[in-house]
Structure 1
Amino acid sequence: MTEYGRGPGSEPWHPQDPLYGDGGWEGQHAQQGQRSPYGGLPQHHPQEPQYGDWNGQHQPGHDAQHHPYDQEPGAPRYDEEYAGHAPQQFPQGGWDATGTHGQVPYAADPGDPYGQRPVAYGGEQPDLYGTEEAYPPPVPPGRRRPGPGPEAAEPAEEEPDVLGGDGVDTDDAEEAEPPTRRERRGKKPVKSKKGRTGCACMVVVLVFGGGLGGLGYFGWKFYQNRFGAAPDYAGSGNGHQVTVEIPKDAGGWEIGGKLKQAGVVESSAAFVSALQANPRGKSIQDGVYTLEKQMSAASAVELMLSPKSRSNLIIAEGLRNTAVYTLVDKRLGVPAGTTARVARKDYKHLGLPAWALNHAQLKDPLEGFLYPSSYAVTKGQKPEAVLKKMVSQATAKFQELGVESRARSLGLDNPWQLLTVASLAQAEGTSHDDFRKMAEVVYNRLEPDNPQTYGRLEFDSTYNYVKNQSKIDLSIAELRKYDNPYNTYFSKGLPPGPIDNPGEEALRGALDPTHDGWYYFISMDGKTSKFTKTLEDHEKLVNEWNASRKKN
């Protein structure tokens, strides 16, 4: 058998051959000048070929002596093998009885991918399909069983039954099946689904169980937040003290958050609940509190309402700066004099307003600006930070009261002088009710042509400020001989600056003095003051006071 005109000999028909499957049962015409796929020789058609039927009856012009099936003795003829079959007509290109070209006697099947060339009857041909790796031989169209073509899709693999299937062991079933053609070609057999089935079940269980667990957790948290009691410690603490700073204007939730962060209460919600349940809960102020860890919310509220828990630095009204510096040093645990040195060196960088700067002959530029209040001062803080906080609070209060805007309406040159008037009223007044009258005394004496003092203030408090003392038994002779701008017995007008730190009531008294004509005052019991308009009335009160002292 020759293959594709390459000469005699036989070799397997391999699928990678470019003409593999092109012959089929329908045969191919060799183009003129090309080799025939059946005989390996070029074909010539000098005349229109004539066709005969399967009974050996040839049309005129057909040479029966050169019929290819008559070349071998003993080969069956078509009229013997196909006797009884009805004559059939074949298209152009059939048997020409020349022995040079013969078309196979079967019509081509377009769906047959295994069409092959005819083999001449006679000589024994090698079995090209005997090996296991070879493709099966083509089957004639009449003997084929209907089935899907080569383009038919592979049967879909059955999905594993996730919940157990029908109980068939897929491993045994696969072992029993013979290897298929696809497996012989090299495709790996389908592996068992048993392991994947178990994993799928496990994933489903985990996902479903995790979803239920998460839903239950969030449901429980929602119930606790909405309807359950807030987490809370029991008792009044475990004995470990902590210091907590509460900022100004802090609400219940903010306070509770700071206490929880310090370990005092277990939850902010519990503290807010206890704060609302206590009738005095709204009176908790800002500052530093000394509490204990793991306190019940109710006990924490009670302790914060008690003065025992307050550890703020309290600056009383009327304190001089020298006393404030000493208190700050003690609270910070720094050497004495540390805060005073910082004040002298850095006073311009502590937040003073512009109108408080550049005044001559001042004893302390910060005097009057360490506002009386409660401050959260603890060890570890810097003196600069504490002083800045005090100056900031004083400046805010002065702006709130209108110290800067109302100074000139009171006959003063600037707000600095108004602050000085307030400090004098604070120093000489003995009660909050005295401040308005005391402020009027200052304004009246400042009049340069007043008939009582002629422009002199003559306040003992100014002399005591210079001496850093608080004496009341001072002789007039001593007072008038001491030359100092702060000594109002020696110098006319206001001192160079404030002599203490006035509180809000003294500031309001300086802003809104009385207009009753007061020039003199005296404190009879150290708690209240009596005011007079003339020197004669004042002398009577002085004699009365001296007599009361002799009796005691």
Structure 2
Amino acid sequence: MINEGDGGDTIAANLEAEGVVASAEAFTEEVTSRGSTVTFYPGAYQLAKEMSAKAALNALLDPANKLENTFVIQEGLWARDALAAASTATGIPVADLEAAAADPQALGLPAEATSVEGFLFPATYTFPPDVTAQQVVQTLVDRSIQALDEAGVPPEQRWQTVVIASLIEREAGSEEDAYKVSRVIRNRLDPAQFESGLLQFDSTVHYGIGDDSTVETSDAERADASNPYNTYVHPGLPPGPIGNPGDVAIDAALHPADGPWLYFVTVNLETGETVFSATLEEHEAAVEQFNQYLQEHGG
């Protein structure tokens, strides 16, 4: 394995330890002799035992020897899709990964967690070919806990922070908007500012239905009280995260922008421009602006 940030000395020591080369020093000298032509890329490589330093270096620089157990979890991705990506990259059946993720508390998640949703951190991951399902899932969860710790989230606040951050991740169109969406959530959960306590987010409805292929919801979907994630019917936060948030969304959850906003709507699907409003009248004007955009663009 070549990990992110590994230099020639580290790689040389690992090769010697694995019995690929007899001498780490000889490998380092081979690297030095080639100067700036040597660039190492993170990943797992298929090498033989007892290679010469020259042959080992050539093998590491040959893309054909790299084992592609690398995958990316995008910000906001649902856990089911994150595990599917991990399965495709590692060859581990999805069922095995789901089994490894079945006991959230054994993985170190908060007591409230009934699944790993929200705690599979968005990043690029590379695993060796013999990795187990348990190791994959634990690595993703550990990376999430690391991000929360680095953001200054106390353990007792991890659950609520991730739930709010997951909403922000799915609803905000830009980094700047993330902090405003965070404020809208706080304002709507404040009975003095928004009596109903209803967030009214389409993203939560989609999560409860299990379909994220559309950005809109129907009247029937918004009226369906059997969907526990339907924030048009059920006040307060949804019962759990609705995706896996990244660093910006986590930070936004902790540090909402200052503002009186209770509503927001994207008015330009090309630029992502979003209008935040403090009153229903302002919001309805913004919605009309969006409808006009749709008319002009054949929506």
Q: TM-score, normalised by structure 1?
A: 0.46
Counterparts in 2 of 1:448 and 1:270: CA distance versus 1, 3 Å: farther
Counterparts in 2 of 1:326 and 1:518: CA distance versus 1, 3 Å: same
Residues of 2 paired with 1:253 and 1:513: CA distance?
Answer: 44
Following superposition, the deviation at residue 504 of structure 1 comes to 0.7
Specify the code of the residue in structure 2 equivalent to 1:426.
Answer: E
Which residue is 2:121 aligned to?
371
Residues of 2 paired with 1:329 and 1:297: CA distance?
Answer: 30
Residues of 2 paired with 1:417 and 1:486: CA distance?
Answer: 15
Does residue 267 (structure 1) correspond to residue 11 (structure 2)? The answer is no
Which residue is 1:528 aligned to?
272
Query: Mind listing any 5+ residue stretches in structure 1 that lack a counterpart?
Result: 1-244, 408-413
Which residue is 1:317 aligned to?
75
CA contact (8 A) 1:256 1:271 kept: no
Residues of 2 paired with 1:262 and 1:496: CA distance?
Answer: 51
Following superposition, the deviation at residue 322 of structure 1 comes to 0.6
Does residue 497 (structure 1) correspond to residue 247 (structure 2)? The answer is no
Specify the code of the residue in structure 2 equivalent to 1:251.
Answer: G
Residues of 2 paired with 1:318 and 1:436: CA distance?
Answer: 16
Q: How does 1:23-34 map to 2 (within 5 A)?
A: none
Counterparts in 2 of 1:458 and 1:381: CA distance versus 1, 3 Å: same
CA contact (8 A) 1:350 1:384 kept: no
Q: Which protein is richer in helix relative to its size?
A: 2
Cα shift readout 1:302-324 (whole Å, capped 9, x = no counterpart): 969xxx99752211111111101
Percent identity of the aligned residues?
A: 30
Cα shift readout 1:1-38 (whole Å, capped 9, x = no counterpart): xxxxxxxxxxxxxxxxxxxxxxxxxxxxxxxxxxxxxx
Cα shift readout 1:337-376 (whole Å, capped 9, x = no counterpart): 33113312x3332233xxx11x2xx6x4211111111222
Residues of 2 paired with 1:517 and 1:367: CA distance?
Answer: 31
CA contact (8 A) 2:74 2:123 kept: yes
Residues of 1 paired with 2:116 and 2:158: CA distance?
Answer: 15
Specify the code of the residue in structure 1 equivalent to 2:27.
Answer: S
Q: 1:383 aligns with which of 125, 133, 141?
A: 133
Counterparts in 2 of 1:441 and 1:309: CA distance versus 1, 3 Å: farther
Which residue is 1:328 aligned to?
86
Counterparts in 2 of 1:399 and 1:273: CA distance versus 1, 3 Å: farther
Which residue is 1:467 aligned to?
209
Question: What value does the CA root-mean-square deviation take over the aligned residues?
Answer: 3.3
Three-state SS of the structure 2 residue aligned to 1:385 is: helix
Residues of 2 paired with 1:529 and 1:497: CA distance?
Answer: 28
Q: How does 1:356-505 map to 2 (within 5 A)?
A: 356-357=110-111, 359=112, 364-404=114-154, 414-451=157-194, 454-470=196-212, 471-505=214-248
Residues of 2 paired with 1:544 and 1:329: CA distance?
Answer: 43
Three-state SS of the structure 2 residue aligned to 1:403 is: coil
Which residue is 2:51 aligned to?
none
How many matched pairs? 284
Does residue 338 (structure 1) correspond to residue 96 (structure 2)? The answer is yes
Residues of 2 paired with 1:497 and 1:490: CA distance?
Answer: 16
Counterparts in 2 of 1:477 and 1:484: CA distance versus 1, 3 Å: closer
Specify the code of the residue in structure 2 equivalent to 1:460.
Answer: D
Which residue is 1:350 aligned to?
107
Does residue 277 (structure 1) correspond to residue 277 (structure 2)? The answer is no
Residues of 2 paired with 1:299 and 1:546: CA distance?
Answer: 58
Larger Cα-atom Rg: 1
